[in-house]
Structure 1
């Protein structure tokens, strides 16, 4: 894209161009003597004064603005020709002109195009050793420069070093994506980096040398690079210091999501006894979804996975609660049921209804909030309530917990119904029912314990050979004989 042709036009040409697109009256539409009009690729205009070496976004076609700008403008020293000043908004300039008596340095951004740095202090960019400063300060000055060039690309060519700096950053981002994978914190994904690298390769061709659009693209990319470096404390800490700082921030974040230390033991007791430890599962889900791993683009995917998992689980609980509710209502329709069995059945009905209501509302609310902004609001409110993530996990676990209580109450009602006719005639059948209940209860507890510990790595003190010997009766007998020998000589199994 060639540079806009208006840069070399005469004053009359400027007037004609402005009059076609401006809503100002005719007597204020011409660019004053000494000022040049430049058009950003997005369509808006800004002005420069080569003699004063001033850049401004204010409309110098207005007489009062022109007078204020010329009054507060102070050209940089001539010994550094690549330095120019960017003046701020006209209202502030007007007050500065009245208060500072013509010195508007506090409202000016000094730009050094030779070193690609900018600062609100002119001395910072005028010094011969302006680049000899700490990397964090230098990075911030470079960010100011690229941000300025992003908004004012049409009056200066792109610095020669810009393309190479952008390529170097993209190469590192691709490398970090390959090394870190989803935990990469660089601002662009691997596919985005590949697209950016292709564009940079095309923009290196000579036909784009005078393109203001190229200047906008490269300046935007380098501004993002500088912003990312500032966020990761680029050039400030050693490797160990940076790891310690990140671990400290993670510890602070995890501590703020917990209830008060005095309440934490009580909350854990309630979770493990009355809620059967189910909130601990949802606590891990919430923490995993709220953790910042890699770039911000991964947050949306984590949030969607979190929503899908909750909706899927709640749908299953909703189905089971509905079936249990219908079974309990049918059980209550029995005519000769005694009060203990009826009370337990009513408790089961209420628990099933509570599970259904909470599950329906949770599915409706979670499915309606799938944006990234919703995830930030959700996690912030969940983290900063009185009980932190523990309290939120308790609320999330209500559908399965109420379902468990409903199943337990329904079981009690059935046992009470079976025991209400306990007499000499049917004593054997009642004992048979209770015996089978104990057997089934034992098997259920064994299954629950196995499934709760199956996905956790456990260290065992015995070796693989001892496992084989326990499972095989013959090897167990051989092991017993070997241990009964003198000197405790263990034979080969």
Structure 2
């Protein structure tokens, strides 16, 4: 959303300025390591009678004010000129370039919008370019219509600077508006401190949206609202508490309300809110999406058969969760926790089966069947452990984590069927190990019946009682409290 103004140092006329589009937040910097901070000279002596003013160092140019974002970032604003920027205006040549840029932008605006109080312009320097090259990026903010715009045609595939493809292709002006509104709120979130008037209407509308979303989630299983009913209630409580604060905390209030609005607007864009054929139920088109993934494939038929048919249920669940290629965290997390629970129990079952195989080996059962059942049990343990590690709650903590994971694992031709087979394979392997173990036991019992019935009675009683007691103890310790 930002257009770069390239100002020539040799010929500082307006015609030499080049405008390159970008979008809000494309140049916001985060330092995750203190090692990246350049070394500075430090002092050990505090001067006598040290007192601090609100601004230390060189004074800012006229009409410029420095602000500190609630999260700690510094930005600058010139209300008179309608400029907001991350660039320190005290740097050589900055104000001259900014003035040239604003003059160029104003000359392209309609007469009714040419006054500074009717628009706001973000100006910045593209990554990797020095200020001396005379290139500035920009976008114009329209507070009245909650959108951003540029003073020239912009190709979202080639012209946007910093974060290409943050905006997607659009089919109408209404669709484009849905795409630009989240970027407007992103700008408000990043630069919340300098606005003279707080948008009370936006806050009241946000509260109404959350109240509706709360009821929708509680009454409609297919709700497409991005937050659960519990989350809605928590946000509504925060909204009520913020209303009790005075104007000194307005920047905090504006920033987090803008963040929530951006999230809701992105969800509205995905669901075509207010457009023709909107997505009003997350299960909308489920049958069609399911049928798209069930084409004939010998490999997948064999995979389903190998999993004893259990993968079909998992496939249906995954398709429901990913219907429309949109995932809701509140629905995914219970599913994932259920899968993790099954993998944990598969590990316990594999260990238990391995112990029973060891007991079975003492009594001289078939060596080949012992090896086969032990191999199945070991494979189930290993695969379950790997699945637990790959699908930890930390790795799939947010909706974006979940979406990225499914995007990477979804097959282009077969959809989620391969993933469903992977999810159920550990249980199937444990089932095969159990079947081989049972068959070996039956074979051993049949052979012993022909030799010594009395000895077999004692052995069978011990073999049946000990595993049963161990199973009950494990279930009592780790299973649901049903006793």
Q: Give the TM-score of the pair, scaled to structure 2.
A: 0.63
Distance in 2, Cα, partners of 1:112 & 1:240: 28
Unaligned runs of 5+ in 1: 1-14, 20-25, 125-132, 333-344, 430-493
Residues 269-288 of structure 1 mapped to structure 2, 5 A cutoff: 271=305, 279-285=308-314, 287-288=316-317
2:274 to 235, 259, 262: 235
Instruction: After superposition, give the CA deviation of every residue in 1:193-221 in whole Å (9 maximum; x if it has no partner).
Output: 11222222343458348711111122112
Tell me by how many angstroms 1:150 deviates: 0.8
Secondary structure of the equivalent of 2:81? coil
1:308 lines up with 2:346 in the alignment: no
1:87 is matched with 123
What secondary structure sits across from 1:59 in the alignment? coil
**2:206 corresponds to which residue?**
166
Which whole-Å CA distance do the structure 2 matches of 1:58 and 1:115 have between them?
27
* Cα separation, partners in 2 of 1:54 and 1:197, compared to 1, 3 Å: same
Partner secondary structure for residue 63 of structure 1: coil
Give the 3 Å change call, closer, same or farther, for CA 317–287 of structure 1 in structure 2: farther
Report the Cα offset of residue 38 of structure 1: 2.1
Give the root-mean-square deviation of aligned CA atoms: 3.9
Task: Quote how far apart the aligned CAs of 1:305 are.
Answer: 1.6
* Residue aligned with 2:112, SS: coil
Question: Does the alignment pair 1:370 with 2:402?
Answer: no
Partner residue, 2:74: 45
Alignment of 1:64-463 (within 5 A): 64-74=93-103, 76=106, 77=109, 79-80=112-113, 81-89=117-125, 107-121=137-151, 134-156=173-195, 157-181=197-221, 183-205=222-244, 207-208=246-247, 211-238=250-277, 246-247=285-286, 250-251=289-290, 254-255=293-294, 261-267=297-303, 271=305, 279-285=308-314, 287-288=316-317, 291-292=320-321, 295-332=328-365, 345-368=366-389, 369-371=391-393, 373=395, 376=402, 383-384=410-411, 388-389=418-419, 391-392=421-422, 393-394=424-425, 396-415=427-446
Contact 2:122 2:138 in 1 (8 A): yes
Alpha-carbon offset, residue 146 of structure 1 = 1.3
How many angstroms does 1:148 deviate by? 0.8
Shift of 1:192: 1.6
Q: Distance in 1 between matches of 2:217 and 2:427?
A: 35
Q: 8 Å contact 1:354–1:399 — kept in the other structure?
A: no
CA contact (8 A) 1:167 1:200 kept: yes
Specify which structure has the bigger relative contact order, considering alpha-carbon pairs within 8 angstroms and separated by 6 or more residues.
2
State how many pairs are aligned: 363
With over 3 angstroms needed to count, the CA separation of the structure-2 counterparts of 1:346 and 1:121, relative to structure 1, is farther
Cα displacement (A) at 1:72: 2.7
Q: Structure 2 CA distance, aligned partners of 1:397 and 1:87?
A: 59
Offset from partner CA, 1:96-123 (integer Å, 9 cap, x none): 9758xxxx6xx32111222322223479
Q: What CA deviation, in whole Å up to 9, does each residue of 1:368-392 have, x standing for no partner?
A: 4522535958767765499824652
Segments of 5+ residues of structure 2 without an aligned counterpart are: 1-51, 155-171, 454-483
Per the TM alignment, residue 231 of structure 1 is displaced from its structure 2 partner at its CA by 1.6
Larger radius of gyration, structure 1 or 2? 1
Report the Cα distance in structure 2 between the residues aligned to 1:381 and 1:325, rounded to whole angstroms.
41
Contact kept, 8 Å, 1:68 with 1:97, in 2: the verdict is: no
**Do the aligned partners of 1:289 and 1:306 also contact (CA within 8 Å) in 2?**
no
Measured after TM superposition, the shift of residue 50 of structure 1 is: 3.0
What displacement does 1:162 show?
0.9
Query: What TM-score do you get using the length of structure 1 for normalisation?
Result: 0.62
8 Å contact kept, 1:328–1:348: no
Correspondence for 1:17 among 35, 54, 60: 54
What secondary structure does 1:110 align onto?
strand
